[in-house]
Structure 1
Amino acid sequence: MSDFGPRAPHGPDMSGTHNPLEDMDVHEKGAFDQLIRPDDCYTQDGIYWADLPLMKKIKFVSSYDALEAKRELKGIWSMTKTDPLSPISHYFRNMVLPGAGLGLEGYVLFSIGNLKPLFESTFANCWKSKHGICNPQWVNAVDYLEIAGIIVGQILVGFLGDWIGRRWGLIQDATIMLLGLVMLTAAWGVTQNGWVICYAWSLFIYGIGVGGEYPMTATSGMENGVGSGKVSTKEDRLHRGRKVTSAFLMQGWGQFFNQALLIILLLCFHHGSGNNPYSAVATQWTYRVSFAIPAVGTLWLVYYRAYHMKAASKQLAAAKKKASVTGYDANSLRLTFKYFGFRILATSGAWFANDVFFYGNKLFQSEFIKVISPETHSVMPTWLWNLCNTGVSLCGYYMASFLVDSKLYGRKWMQIIGFLLCFVLFIVPAFHFEYYRAPENIKKFQAMYFLSSFFNQFGPNSVTFLVAAEVFPTPIRASAHGMSAAVGKSGALLASVLYNYIDTQTKFYVVPWFGLAGMVLTAFFLPDTTGLDLKEQERRWEFLRAGREDEYHGPAVHPKHLSWYERWVLRKGRFYDAERDYQMKVEEYRAEWEAAMAQKVTENEKSGESADTDESLLEGHVHTYFHRTSPMFKGMEKPVTAKQDSFALPPAAEADSEDTYSNEKSSR
């Protein structure tokens, strides 16, 4: 049986002679393997999954994924038998609540575009006429100030989240969004132009809170799954991406509910009719009630984050304590640009390209609606088609959540393929524009429109949100995510400005190339973190901070988890050495164990107890090995009384130790 080397400093004696310590060595070896080489990432021979040949890799990953799916389905069935509604409450608690802020902001942000045609129909002299009663610059500023507020929030709250903490960033976001919603609901002016100005600045305030939601939701959702200990759980390694993207997809549900509610409200206030002419009273009631409803939900969100998310900053606090940093970690930001500068280029550049696409997708909508309903002046056809498109987008969100953690597909390929297909679906109508506008070909146009929506969500829109936090270390994770998101939102700003000055045909010529650019940036500069334990990234970061980059040999520098640029140009993969990394981890755990034991001995001496009488110090095979090989406890003759069928993790890992799969491993 091949292996990378000794799995623990003391392995079993294969000579045929028997020693009383041999059984202990066997148990210690298994304990170290389970601790350092978990079976979801390593074969029984101790080979990392990414080191396997292609066919063996497919077999290993597929078999373990099937085992995990079986375990999850069994858990769902067990929950259902106990309480039929418990799976729903579990989904709400673990997927809906973490993404509630994004759901609310998705509801409000996309309502701006939905309400614009209603305002243009009702207040044509203000919103539509170039020489009407309202200043056209302020009418255009409705879009610009909204995006400007988001950019400010993404950068500002990203830094505050790394400085003050994730929890206060989350509370601050919800509070600012609540203020913005109150302003939007109550927006008024002596003249219609004054109302537009008030409306625009209310969107700016709301946008600041929205911008902060991006880095705060991504980082807190990811770090709550990882925890602050040295050992992460299988739940994190196997489902970290799903947890974050499941929170992000609430943005899609926010869009869906907004559009559905606007349709219902207009029918209610416009006497059951959705057709022109719309009265000012019906329009005012429709849009104000549509903003008042999420204001109630946002008020509850402020309460929930203030009183039920008190541990949101746990991992950040642990990282700062380890680095002896109390305020903002400016040194980590400097080192991030030094070592991960091209990652920032990848995350921000790809997000920029995606946002041009995301807003460019709206091009299809107006064009095929004009062909399908050439005589209509009602907003209802537009709203109904948009509702249909949002439903298609939700399918893309869920597919992304389902496959984002697959080691055989994962984040990077999902983003590359998503960008590629968006490029194709835009470039085809760009050069055959009149053909696809013809009524007899409009269904092909519709198909491309819906497919572009699907692959935008099942691709770059979901992945950019995840990887902008995942590929950076904890101390500056929110800052890096905020900067990437701000650059991305400038792509939306570019689209909203550019589309006012070029015709539809030209728009189709321009937009596709951003998809191609996003694909190239992703391929060359974005690392693939699918299947990578984030604790390995934190270990590597400790070496980088200490100026010992060449001494880290773990999976974070495996070629699989590096970008093409890092692998072939910077040659970071040359540091990877699985055997040396294993031995280093044993020594790292020893140092952590000795520090914890020294603290325990000191506490016992102060209380007048004898250290060798504390049974808790002698529990577990990992502890047993350190106990009998550490200079600290030489001369202690008390026999070991550890249970032979279990092992204890080092103190820092105890919180994560409950996620064990020993039965599954034996069955394989």
Structure 2
Amino acid sequence: MAREQLQVLNALDVAKTQWYHFTAIVIAGMGFFTDAYDLFCISLVTKLLGRIYYHVDDYPKPGTLPPGVAAAVNGVAFVGTIAGQLFFGWLGDKMGRKRVYGMTLMIMVICSIGSGLSFSKNPKAVMATLCFFRFWLGFGIGGDYPLSATIMSEYANKKTRGAFIASVFAMQGFGILAGGVFAIIVSASFKASFPAPAYEDNALGSTVDQADYVWRIILMFGAIPAAMTYYWRMKMPETARYTALVAKNAQQAASDMAKVLHVEIEVEQDKVEKTKDFGLFSREFLRRHGVHLLGTTSTWFLLDIAFYSSNLFQKDIFTAVGWLPHAETMNAIEEVYKIARAQTLIALCSTVPGYWFTVAFIDRIGRFKIQLMGFFFMTVFMFALAIPYDHWTHRKNRIGFVVMYSLTFFFSNFGPNATTFVVPAEIFPARLRSTCHGISAACGKAGAMVGAFGFLYAAQNQDKSKTDKGYPPGIGVKNSLIVLGVVNFLGMMFTFLVPEANGKSLEEMSQENVEEEEMESRPEDSRAVLV
């Protein structure tokens, strides 16, 4: 039979929505605002970097980053993110969520500033320094994923837990939007400050001196929201679930939550001592949660292939269908302005609304249905763009392409991009919750790397003149969209491995309140509480 719930945990589960819930959302959410800004702002300036540092005839295509350099600049942060998710996820379960939480922000502040201070007269040295700081920036960002999700899930009540965790992740949409808006402001300011005749020279690499400031300012701005959040993160108490179930200090857990909830909570140390511990690589974990971990890792991996491919290379897709002018018709700063404007429009009309639709409906219709629906519509819209691709490239049909493309972003965010973040924070035991979320998130970023590197090469135009200049042959944008459609379909299939956590307590989902004798008599529960 189920073990009786600790009073302190039950108080959290049934607590009414209070001010501390919103405080926790803002504190954790500002980290995700910064994460998204830092990860996606690089896509706004990669073409600018090519114009500034590779504008001479010594390179395969003057004014464009060589494929290997572009892949490194876009993808190195993901390598760091994977390392950070695994390391800080594990550390959050060993040292506690709060003790590790401030470390990630400080790394992000230092490395955001360092990215913008990548100085040298040698293009290779600038790119190497930028990649160094982008790696460690990603390392700090990676730690934010498991810690923010775990902290929010352990603070929340079970009735609105999904909405609270999704709200933290929804701040990613505002971070993407802020990146576009800030890039518009900076590029427009420089554009106005350096008028004709120099500015009207549309040659590749024009206005180099001024453009060199633009990308540095855009990258360094990410340090500001991270620095503003540090103090409040340090003021948060440790979560009661970590203190009681992992550190096994019922008195401290009751004391901390009594201050937060403003209620009297009984200390139940004897119940805490009865909780059973098992490790990540134990047969017990495999029996209880092996299928769940496969579900969360596979769906996040597949989702991020499609999501990051689409986000990081919007500019290439929009140029291919003619919605953005070719680089040769614009000078350096103007190109940043137009790319940022296009990406901001997509974020404002589809990305941000999609996140908040998830917040509104996740505790009403459940995680499973939202994730399945999102993958389904992403599959449909990718195929709808790819199969009649030649139709969309005609000038009169470009708006239709942009609308359809925007809908893939809407349903990724009102779908698996949000739920893959929420579910791993709910279904694993407290002693392994941060670790398992970090593993799931790291698999997602591995998918992002596949998307970042794979799409960069795959979407190269099948143009012999480009391959002659050193670019590898690609499969083209059309076939790349077909591949992404297949990836989304596979995500839909793997969703059936993910359990539904709607309305259940964390202990019920993780089976921490189930006696060992009952588990042994019900071996089929290795896939417990499936949909």
Alpha-carbon separation, structure 2, partners of 1:341 and 1:90: 34
Match in the other structure for 2:109: 178
Q: Which among 434, 437, 441 is matched to residue 478 of structure 1?
A: 434
Q: CA shift at 1:119, angstroms?
A: 2.0
Alpha-carbon separation, structure 2, partners of 1:107 and 1:114: 11
Greater RCO structure (CA 8 Å; 6+ sep): 2
Q: Give CA-to-partner distance per residue, 1:421-454, whole Å, 9 cap, x none.
A: 0000001222211112112222221121111110
- 2:24 and 2:152 in contact (8 A); partners too: no
Q: CA shift at 1:37, angstroms?
A: 12
Counterpart secondary structure, 2:502: coil
Alpha-carbon separation, structure 2, partners of 1:471 and 1:319: 15
- Kindly, what percent of the aligned residue pairs are identical? 25
Residue 371 (structure 1) aligned with residue 302 (structure 2): no
Residue 301 (structure 1) aligned with residue 271 (structure 2): no
Residue 260 (structure 1) aligned with residue 208 (structure 2): no
1:330 and 1:203, CA in 2 relative to 1: closer, same or farther beyond 3 A?
A: farther
Match in the other structure for 2:306: 357
Q: Give CA-to-partner distance per residue, 1:178-229, whole Å, 9 cap, x none.
A: 221121122112412101100011100100001111100000111122xxxx
Q: TM-score, normalised by structure 2?
A: 0.79
Q: TM-score, normalised by structure 1?
A: 0.64
Match in the other structure for 1:202: 133
Residue 563 (structure 1) aligned with residue 514 (structure 2): no
Counterpart secondary structure, 1:361: helix
- 2:112 and 2:220 in contact (8 A); partners too: yes
Amino acid at match of 2:358: A
Q: Which among 163, 167, 180 is matched to residue 94 of structure 2?
A: 163
Q: Which among 498, 504, 516 is matched to residue 526 of structure 1?
A: 498
Match in the other structure for 1:140: 71
Amino acid at match of 1:354: L
Residue 318 (structure 1) aligned with residue 318 (structure 2): no
Match in the other structure for 2:254: none
Alpha-carbon separation, structure 1, partners of 2:158 and 2:57: 51
* Equivalent residues in 2 for 1:29-40, closer than 5 Å: none
Match in the other structure for 1:242: 163
Alpha-carbon separation, structure 1, partners of 2:240 and 2:443: 28
1:373 and 1:331, CA in 2 relative to 1: closer, same or farther beyond 3 A?
A: closer
* Equivalent residues in 2 for 1:454-493, closer than 5 Å: 454-493=410-449
Counterpart secondary structure, 1:371: coil
* Equivalent residues in 2 for 1:437-586, closer than 5 Å: 437-502=393-458, 503-523=476-496, 525-537=497-509, 540-543=511-514, 546-549=516-519, 562-563=529-530
1:120 and 1:448, CA in 2 relative to 1: closer, same or farther beyond 3 A?
A: same
Alpha-carbon separation, structure 2, partners of 1:511 and 1:529: 28
Q: Give CA-to-partner distance per residue, 1:356-413, whole Å, 9 cap, x none.
A: 110232466533444234464342332211101111210001100000111xx11100
Match in the other structure for 1:331: 279
Residue 347 (structure 1) aligned with residue 304 (structure 2): no
Q: CA shift at 1:285, angstroms?
A: 2.0
1:213 and 1:357, CA in 2 relative to 1: closer, same or farther beyond 3 A?
A: same
1:387 and 1:127, CA in 2 relative to 1: closer, same or farther beyond 3 A?
A: farther
Q: Which among 321, 331, 343 is matched to residue 386 of structure 1?
A: 343
Counterpart secondary structure, 1:543: coil
Q: CA shift at 1:528, angstroms?
A: 0.7
Match in the other structure for 2:473: none
- 2:291 and 2:526 in contact (8 A); partners too: no
Alpha-carbon separation, structure 2, partners of 1:330 and 1:484: 19
Q: Which among 265, 284, 292 is matched to residue 220 of structure 2?
A: 292
Counterpart secondary structure, 1:125: coil
Counterpart secondary structure, 1:441: helix
Alpha-carbon separation, structure 1, partners of 2:273 and 2:9: 27
Alpha-carbon separation, structure 2, partners of 1:282 and 1:90: 45
1:387 and 1:126, CA in 2 relative to 1: closer, same or farther beyond 3 A?
A: farther
- 1:126 and 1:193 in contact (8 A); partners too: no
Counterpart secondary structure, 1:331: coil
Q: Give CA-to-partner distance per residue, 1:575-623, whole Å, 9 cap, x none.
A: xxxxxxxxxxxxxxxxxxxxxxxxxxxxxxxxxxxxxxxxxxxxxxxxx
1:478 and 1:94, CA in 2 relative to 1: closer, same or farther beyond 3 A?
A: closer
Q: Which among 39, 50, 55 is matched to residue 125 of structure 1?
A: 55
Q: CA shift at 1:264, angstroms?
A: 0.6
1:319 and 1:91, CA in 2 relative to 1: closer, same or farther beyond 3 A?
A: closer
Alpha-carbon separation, structure 2, partners of 1:294 and 1:410: 34
Match in the other structure for 2:268: none
Amino acid at match of 2:77: E
Counterpart secondary structure, 1:500: helix
Q: CA shift at 1:354, angstroms?
A: 0.6
Gaps of 5+ in 2: 249-270, 459-475
1:132 and 1:37, CA in 2 relative to 1: closer, same or farther beyond 3 A?
A: closer
- 1:351 and 1:485 in contact (8 A); partners too: yes
Gaps of 5+ in 1: 1-31, 42-67, 76-88, 226-235, 565-668
- 2:76 and 2:131 in contact (8 A); partners too: yes
Alpha-carbon separation, structure 1, partners of 2:61 and 2:399: 37
- 1:332 and 1:475 in contact (8 A); partners too: no
Q: CA shift at 1:325, angstroms?
A: 11
Amino acid at match of 1:531: G
Aligned length: 466
Q: Which among 349, 355, 369 is matched to residue 397 of structure 1?
A: 355
Counterpart secondary structure, 1:405: helix
* Equivalent residues in 2 for 1:638-653, closer than 5 Å: none
Match in the other structure for 2:38: 108
- 2:21 and 2:155 in contact (8 A); partners too: no
The alignment's C-alpha RMSD in Å is 3.5
1:522 and 1:368, CA in 2 relative to 1: closer, same or farther beyond 3 A?
A: same
1:548 and 1:198, CA in 2 relative to 1: closer, same or farther beyond 3 A?
A: same
Q: Give CA-to-partner distance per residue, 1:102-127, whole Å, 9 cap, x none.
A: 11111111101111122233334379
Match in the other structure for 2:256: none
Amino acid at match of 1:318: A
Counterpart secondary structure, 1:401: helix
Alpha-carbon separation, structure 1, partners of 2:383 and 2:309: 12
Alpha-carbon separation, structure 2, partners of 1:205 and 1:352: 22
